[in-house]
């Protein structure tokens, strides 16, 4: 398909079931205030957020045939081109228990479908037919999948001249760095795990990010640090984007909204400071409302003006 700006890849999507339980307590009887089901998975979230920002987006990865209706509906409503490879069975369910009183989210993640070898061939073949400025590879891998799959896919995409953003963690991230994606977005815990040491200060985070830039040819490292904002590091710049003090209703999907803002900023040719403002504002919008609000056309300018850049 031509005319695309971004293709997102989600190998392990999920039907996100968000359950709001004020005062949630393990081992006790809990009363549900509200419940929502939606199409989820990190790459899916990024794609829907980018489409809401007005970009031309396609999605691919693996989806279970038996419960695809939520995904079909979301892609149709957001005008996202669907190139998922469909597998027998059901896409996994991810349960998020949101406690608005304690400002906590508890994740219960089920294992995903294991794609057979022919499905992986179909996926690779399909990706070769998709031309876009950016490919975003996001999320965990299905159980049993080759932990170097992102590395292999990034190398193929780079050989085609495509730009790649990566948002994963653990062993898949470690392997994928060897292929040199342009952008990575770990959170501070994921970066600490990657470096094998606790990172307690912004200076330590910045040093770790610069090490990645130098060793792996990455062009931009974005490290999310919760309420302290996010660090944006390139070879020539290092800045922190800090949101204003705000009521956080849910953290669900906030990191994916940030990735969408980073890519949108890159597509628009923004300076690093404005890219950081846009990415942070995109994340703020989700934090202040809920994950389902991320997929409508946002007016982010007022939020961008509230982001402090240092």
In a domain, 247, yes or no: yes
Q: What is the mean pLDDT of residues 162-185?
A: 97
Domain total of the chain? 1
Return the ∠ at Cα 255 (arms to 170 and 76), rounded to 5°.
110
pLDDT at 115 over 90: yes
Q: What is the mean pLDDT of residues 46-75?
A: 96
Q: Give the per-residue pLDDT at 292.
A: 45
Return the ∠ at Cα 209 (arms to 197 and 234), rounded to 5°.
175
Question: What rounded mean pLDDT belongs to the chain?
Answer: 91
- The model's confidence at residue 304, banded by pLDDT at 50, 70 and 90, is confident
**CATH number of the structural domain spanning residue 150:** 3.40.1190.20
Question: Among the options 99, 107, 256, 299, which is catalytic?
Answer: 256
- The model's confidence at residue 247, banded by pLDDT at 50, 70 and 90, is low
202: containing domain? 6-10+42-84+114-309
In a domain, 150, yes or no: yes
Select the more confidently predicted residue: 67 or 251: 67
What Å distances lie between residue 88 and 65, 137, 190, CA to CA? 6, 23, 32
In a domain, 186, yes or no: yes
Half-sphere exposure of 217 (CA within 13 A, CB side): 11
In angstroms, rounded to a whole number, what is the distance separating the alpha carbons of residues 5 and 7?
Answer: 7
- Cβ count within 10 A of residue 243: 21
Go through 32-62 and write b for each residue having 16 or more CB atoms within 10 A of its CB, e for each that does not.
eeeeeebbbbbbbbbbbbbbbbebbbbbbbb
In a domain, 31, yes or no: no
Q: What is the mean pLDDT of residues 221-226?
A: 93
In a domain, 180, yes or no: yes
How many residues comprise the chain? 310
Select the more confidently predicted residue: 284 or 9: 9
Decide if 146 is catalytic.
Answer: no
In a domain, 77, yes or no: yes
In a domain, 33, yes or no: no
In a domain, 106, yes or no: no
Q: Which residues contact 34 (CB under 8 A, 6 or more apart)?
A: 19, 20
């Amino acid at each position: 398909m031509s005319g695309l700006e971004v293709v997102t890849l989600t190998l392990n999507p999920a039907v996100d079931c968000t359950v709001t339980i004020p005062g949630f307590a393990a081992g006790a009887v809990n009363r549900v205030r509200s419940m929502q089901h939606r199409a989820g998975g990190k790459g899916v979230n990024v794609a829907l957020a980018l489409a809401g920002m007005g970009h031309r987006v396609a999605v691919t990865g693996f989806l279970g045939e038996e419960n695809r209706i939520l995904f079909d509906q979301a892609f149709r409503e957001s005008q996202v081109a669907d190139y998922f490879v469909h597998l027998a069975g059901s896409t996994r369910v991810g349960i998020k228990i949101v406690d608005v009183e304690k400002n906590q989210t508890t994740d219960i993640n089920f294992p995903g479908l294991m794609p057979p070898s022919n499905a992986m061939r179909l996926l690779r073949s399909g990706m070769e037919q998709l031309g876009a400025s950016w490919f975003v590879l996001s999320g965990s891998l299905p159980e049993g999948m080759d932990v170097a799959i992102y590395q292999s896919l990034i190398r193929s995409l780079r050989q085609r001249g495509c730009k790649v953003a990566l948002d994963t963690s653990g062993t898949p991230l470690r392997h994928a760095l060897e292929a040199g994606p342009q952008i990575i977005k770990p959170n501070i815990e994921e970066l600490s795990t990657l470096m094998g040491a606790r990172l307690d200060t912004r200076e330590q985070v910045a040093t770790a990010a610069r090490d990645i830039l130098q060793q792996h040819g990455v062009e931009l490292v974005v490290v999310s640090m919760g309420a302290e904002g996010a660090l944006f590091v390139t070879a020539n710049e290092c800045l922190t984007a800090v949101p204003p003090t705000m009521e956080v209703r849910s953290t669900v999907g906030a990191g994916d909204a940030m990735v969408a803002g980073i890519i949108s900023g890159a597509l628009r040719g923004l300076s690093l400071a404005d890219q950081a403002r846009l990415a942070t504002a995109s994340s703020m919008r989700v934090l202040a409302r809920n994950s389902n609000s991320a997929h409508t056309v946002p007016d982010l300018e007022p939020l961008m003006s509230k982001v402090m850049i240092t």
